[in-house]
Amino acid sequence: MSGIGRVLVAVYGVLALAAIGRSFVQIASKFDEAPLAYALSALAALVYVVATVALIRPGRAWYRVAWATIAFEFTGVVVIGALSVAFPALFPHDTVWSWFGRGYLFIPLVLPVLGMWWLARHRPAVEGDAS
């Protein structure tokens, strides 16, 4: 992996660490104030960790895992983002994906698009390919 792939993995890794830290503090200190929002932050952290590992690991199985987690991430950002805008009372405190990732400079909205683009351009070779 080189170039944009390395940058993508680095950004996913940093976002994973940030989401883990945020969700840990939220859940440990004030879970009763916004359990849905904080549980979603923990889910986002898990998704970012799995996506980071899947992007690093070679092979078709990890490629599929990367696609699944990144597609799930994009769906989560769009759905939670739209719900947080349309029904702000559902999320009295922000999640990683609230307002389309506004608290993270909208990186959660842009990153899965870049990730899916990168995955589409870097499909692993099938064993036995002569090319």
Confidence bin at 54 (pLDDT 50/70/90): very high
Work out the mean pLDDT of the chain and round it to a whole number. 88
Q: Where are the domains of the chain?
A: 4-121
pLDDT at 122 over 60: yes
Return the HEC string of the chain.
Answer: CCCHHHHHHHHHHHHHHHHHHHHHHHHHHHHHHCHHHHHHHHHHHHHHHHHHHHHHCCCHHHHHHHHHHHHHHHHHHHHHHHHHHHCHHHCCCCCCCHHHCHHHCCHHHHHHHHHHHHHHHCCCCCCCCCC
- Two tokens, residue 25: 């503090």
Confidence bin at 131 (pLDDT 50/70/90): very low
Percentage of the chain exceeding pLDDT 70? 94
pLDDT score for 125: 72
- Two tokens, residue 79: 């759905």
**CA quadruple 31, 37, 42, 43: dihedral, nearest 10:** 140
pLDDT at 90 over 50: yes
pLDDT score for 19: 87
